Amino acid sequence: MSENQPLIDDLIARFKLEYLLERAFRKLSTGESRKVMLIRALASEPDLLVLDEPFDGLDVDTLAMLQEYLSSLIETVPMVMVLNRFDEFPDFITHIAYMDHGRLQLTIDKQDAQAYDELYKLLHLKTTDLQVPDADPETAIPALNPEDPLVRLNGINIKYADKAIIEDLHWTINPGQHWQLSGPNGSGKTGLLSLITGDHPQCYVNDIFVFGFQRGSGESIWQIKQFIGYVSTALQWEYRVSISLRNVIISGFYDSIGLYSKYTDRQRDIADQWLAVLGMTDRADQPFNKLSYGDQRLLLIARAMVKHPPLLILDEPCLGLDDMNRQLVLSLIEKICADSETTVLYVNHHPEDKIRGIDQYLALEKPNSCQTQLPAPPGR
């Protein structure tokens, strides 16, 4: 402990603890004990100051005082500050290290505006109390029988000429489950998805039950698609219209690329709630085609979810993204899994892109190999 009594007296006065000097430490409140420990650390005149959640439990006035005092030390005392929330970072912080599940994921210079903005969105998604917005009751999707599976594939086969892509695959997706579908290129992931969405020409030669319909019983493809939200790299390339971020999300109510219908106040409000979840409220009127590639992907996931479809298919949602944007997308999917009743089908071939909340796993292999259904690997 420092012998600099004037410094100790100054800190006691700043924290307004003069009246507690004769009280036993064990009889202090949580906030009072934190103040004492902060005084102890600051009075030691360290060569390196390490503060673990220094602002927790402090009242507003003390927090402001502490930030001002730490700012006065920054030129002479290096600091490492451990914080959970992005909005707690003091202005004088110059560098940020981001850790997740015990691993250092990245470090950035706060002056790097783009990296700082991406980290802000990531931590916003991970720490915000905002939940997935509700659906619009006026454009609600027809209710499904909760006793039926969303998808049931019985002995599925996909063949091109004499080449088998998928052989005798049985797969059931029940409401409330979240699935990860993986496999190498050529294992049939795209073909399997197109059987579910109704886009594959071999739908009618297979035993497929989706959203209450036995395929081939007179249902239309649009009756099937109304229950599905879909995001893929191909959709992103097709979505080349110059409309605002808000209107991109609203277009999900109409399953359109672009917005050509007059929307309701309720739909606008839901879109704005989604922008808040994404940390993009202040960008609502910016054009979609001016966004970064990763931000566009986040907007399209929100667009696909705006109607709360029973099944959300995310086909390689991290394809083409750098590490930071990949983590952003995975964090948004985690939030959807946790905060909605939509079943997520997450398609990828990178085993490291695991998502907390997904507990079912289907691994496709090359033709003439076995398909396996396993519990998902542990989350990130």
What is the reported pLDDT for 101?
A: 65
Alpha helices in the chain (DSSP H): 5-14, 30-43, 60-73, 113-127, 189-197, 221-225, 233-238, 245-250, 265-278, 293-305, 323-339
State the average pLDDT over residues 239-243. Answer: 89
Domains in the chain: ranges and CATH = 5-93 (3.40.50.300), 137-374 (3.40.50.300)
The structure's pTM equals 0.74
Alpha helices in 52-199 (DSSP H): 60-73, 113-127, 189-197
| pLDDT tens digits for range 247-263 | 999 999 999 999 998 99
With cut-offs at 50, 70 and 90, classify the pLDDT of residue 371: low
What is the reported pLDDT for 264?
A: 94
Whether the predicted pLDDT of 283 surpasses 80: yes
Q: What is the CA radius of gyration of the chain?
A: 26
| pLDDT tens digits for range 323-364 | 778 888 888 999 999 989 999 999 987 655 678 889 899 988
| pLDDT tens digits for range 166-213 | 889 999 999 999 999 988 777 888 889 999 998 888 888 899 999 999
Pull the structure tokens for residue 91.
């202005």
Kindly give the interhelix angle for 30-43 and 5-14, rounded to the nearest 10 degrees.
Answer: 150
Whether the predicted pLDDT of 377 surpasses 60: no
